[in-house]
Structure 1
């Protein structure tokens, strides 16, 4: 099956520091693929490079057979590629509904916007209850739901989730991972960066393990769980 999203020999640098060193990956339609690794392994830098938030030093990113390397971030959501960033980054002084509308900027059809609202509110009923509330007054878990909901408003084919469970209570973490499976069932392809390795391996179809900006292993969850390489990737960073 042809890759929906892929990268070849991707390099990302911050000044003299090379954060991503020749990473290659591919994601096929309908998959949940995870990037795993300790803090500083380069996971978020890859996500930001894919979406044009940081420049690539070299390498290539392909989406649906098109070269999107270095594309402006605002051009990617209309084409079906959306990022839900680490740290939620909701607009605290805007209402829940207005935050969601910010994610629908690529939709010009009023009916499409209303359908997107309906989908998000079905996935997250609490957001419907709080739709007129300022986003800054929501709990951490509710803000994460809002961040994911905002990313879904553009009806992406591929959704990039950067640390979706970070700082959340265990019950909310369970809900977030249930959501990931539900989105896959709705034909959304997902790339997930996550520190919660156990939960991630329960939902991912495949994963890439990164150390110091390089892929050191890749495979299915069962293969990685039995591998000492993944354990070393975390323990070696402590």
Structure 2
């Protein structure tokens, strides 16, 4: 079966530094796939390369049978691929509703836009309650919900989640991982970068472990939990 999203021999460089070195992975439709590894392992660089936010030095990214390597970021949401970035990056001086509206720029059909609003507000009732509030005044957990909601406004087939639980209280972390499962049940395919390994392995179908920009192991969560590679990745990576 052809993967919905894949990368082959992906390299990302920042000057003389190779942040990603020959990474290959794939997602089948309906999967939750995780990229795991310590800080500096190259996870966010992979996400940014997929979405065209940083240039790809070499390699290929395929989405839905098409080569999207080096595509402009704004071209990907209309195609069905969106990113919820690390650090949330909401527009603090805009309202919650205006932040969400920016996520729907790829939609032109009024019914589709209306359905997107309903979906996001059903997933995050607090955003409906605070739709007129400035995003910068929300709590960290609410800003994360807003960042995910904004990415969902274009009705993506694949959602990239970069550190969705970073810096959040344990109760909110549980809600974020429940959301990941709910989105998969709604037909969204997810690529997740996360530092919370235990929680991630509870929801992921498969995972890739990275050390210093390279994939050192891949497999199902049950296989990786029993492997010493995971511990080495977090204790020994640069």
What range is the shorter-chain TM-score in? Answer: over 0.9
2:138 aligned with 1:138, yes or no? yes
Q: In the alignment, which residue of structure 2 is the partner of 1:177?
A: 177
Checking the alignment, whether the CA contact within 8 Å between 2:53 and 2:73 is kept in structure 1 is yes
- Distance in 1 between the 2:146 and 2:106 partners? 18
2:117 aligned with 1:117, yes or no? yes
Q: In the alignment, which residue of structure 2 is the partner of 1:203?
A: 203
Gaps of 5+ in 2: none
Note the C-alpha offset of 1:149: 0.1
- Distance in 2 between the 1:14 and 1:130 partners? 40
- Distance in 2 between the 1:114 and 1:143 partners? 22
Q: In the alignment, which residue of structure 1 is the partner of 2:22?
A: 22
Checking the alignment, whether the CA contact within 8 Å between 2:84 and 2:159 is kept in structure 1 is yes
User: Equivalent residue of 1:116, what SS?
Assistant: helix
User: Equivalent residue of 1:187, what SS?
Assistant: coil
Deviations 1:144-176 (A, max 9, x none): 000000000000000000000000000000000
Checking the alignment, whether the CA contact within 8 Å between 2:23 and 2:213 is kept in structure 1 is yes
2:54 aligned with 1:62, yes or no? no
User: Equivalent residue of 1:146, what SS?
Assistant: helix
Note the C-alpha offset of 1:114: 1.2
Note the C-alpha offset of 1:237: 3.3
RMSD of the TM alignment (CA)?
A: 0.7
